[in-house]
A = this chain, B = another copy of it.
């Protein structure tokens, strides 16, 4: 195909391959004359260096890998976009990999990236279903390989890697305080899978917010989903069937919220009237809902930027401290007053 090599360029320019190489890779030890002739020849022949050979020799690829768990989740595609833009600004190409919520695909991608000798990796680590929060063998192998790596969004408990995450306490505190101000006392939580550190953090932050607002936590009001729409739908049905139905619910990610809202719509529930809803992730689908859903959101632009910056520090062998970004709560019409009377036989608020 593109059989034009640096030798051809050198020949056309009347210099040695070494000189051509120096010119083309910006080595200052070149004469202006050689520079001019080589560049002309290269442009003339449409020379495109073979990245394989180049990095085989130089042991760098100017490429990083980004492993996310689901391209189709707007949360992660926003993150991917931010990482890509900032990496690009730093002269780094980004390979986006999609674990597809599947440990096997995660491992595949990791192996491929390792064999391609990327200069670094930004990873949203998948916990394994079985071993909660622990690294897979492949991930451990990547860690052992000492390739520069940072975790983003999530962390893993059994491995020490710099990470960029987001806290939820601030926003959940505001959310719960707001709900309480509207008269809500029984607030349910539809959470994520235990193997994701974000699921754990959000759950804990929720409980902390309840206590900070003088409400008692209640395991019965917690539904364990898996961050995906179907489990949100299950959670919605669980919520409706609750024998002493809460007056509000907080949902730990947008895909679950979307699944839940579908169910509630079909059931004829009036969000913001019959009960109130707050969800994580500020995505179009939640804002389009009528009424628009109050959200807890993280700055994914900032997260992507911080992740790239952290990775570059690691690549430069600089020390890097963990980064924890803030969360923000935006009140919208899906939060209304708690119903005066219970929707079921039971009374209203509880002690």
Chain A interface (Cβ < 8 Å from any Cβ of B):
1-2, 46, 48-53, 55-56, 71-72, 74, 77-78, 80-81, 84-85, 88, 93, 95-96, 98, 100, 105, 108, 111-112, 114-117, 141, 144-147, 258, 261, 283-290
Could you say which of B1, B78, B147 contacts A72, with CB atoms under 8 Å apart? B78
Given A52-B56, A81-B72, verify A146-B1 contact (CB < 8 Å).
Answer: yes
Q: Within the oligomer, what is the number of copies of this chain?
A: 2
Q: How far is the CA of A48 from the CA of B114 in the complex (A)?
A: 8
Residues of B contacting A50 in the complex (Cβ-Cβ under 8 angstroms)? 56, 115, 117
CB-CB < 8 A to A117: which residues of B? Answer: 50-52
18 further interface pairs, Cβ-Cβ under 8 Å (given A50-B56, A85-B100):
A1-B145, A1-B146, A2-B145, A46-B141, A48-B111, A48-B115, A51-B116, A52-B117, A71-B80, A71-B96, A77-B77, A81-B98, A81-B100, A88-B105, A96-B96, A284-B285, A286-B288, A289-B289
Q: Could you write out 13 A-B pairs with CB less than 8 Å apart?
A: A51-B116, A52-B55, A53-B56, A71-B71, A72-B74, A72-B77, A81-B100, A84-B100, A85-B100, A96-B98, A258-B288, A288-B288, A289-B290
A182 vs B85: C-alpha distance when bound (angstroms) = 47
Q: Which residues of B contact A98 (CB under 8 A)?
A: 80-81, 84, 96
Once bound together, how far apart are the Cα atoms of A287 and B259, in whole Å?
Answer: 11
Kindly list chain B residues whose C-beta atoms are within 8 Å of the C-beta of A144: 46
3 closest A-B pairs by CB: A290-B290, A284-B285, A51-B115
Chain B nearest Cβ from A106, distance in angstroms: 13
CA–CA, A69 to B34, complex, Å? 39
CB pair B289–A49 under 8 Å, yes or no, is no
In the bound assembly, the distance between CA atoms of A39 and B283 in angstroms comes to: 48
What residues of B have a CB within 8 angstroms of the CB of A261 in the complex? 288
Min CB distance, A232 to chain B, in Å? 12
For residue A84, which residues in chain B have a CB less than 8 angstroms away from its CB?
A: 71, 98, 100
Bound Cα distance from A149 to B284, whole angstroms: 34
**Bound complex: CA of A302 vs CA of B225, how far in Å?**
30
Contacts of A95 in B (CB 8 A): 95-96
User: What's the Cα separation between A56 and B57 when bound, in Å?
Assistant: 11
Question: Which chain B residues lie closer than 8 Å to A81 at the CB level?
Answer: 71-72, 98, 100
Residue of B nearest to A105 (CB): B88
Q: Tell me the minimal C-beta distance from A8 to chain B in angstroms.
A: 15
- A287 partner residues in chain B, CB cutoff 8 A: 285
**Nearest-Cβ distance from residue A233 to partner chain B, whole angstroms:** 13
Contact across chains for A147 and B112 when beta carbons are under 8 A apart: no
Chain B residue with the shortest CB-CB distance to A78: B72
B residues in contact with A283, CB < 8 Å? 284-285
Report the Cα distance A77→B53, complex, angstroms.
32
Contact status A114-B2, CB under 8 Å: yes
Alpha-carbon separation in the docked complex, A147 to B80 (Å): 27
Q: Give min CB distance, A133 to chain B, whole Å.
A: 24
**What's the minimum C-beta distance from A342 to chain B, rounded to whole angstroms?**
26
CB distance from A141 to the nearest CB of B (A): 6
Q: State the Cβ distance, A178 to closest chain B Cβ, in Å.
A: 22
Shortest CB-to-CB span from A48 to chain B, Å, is 5
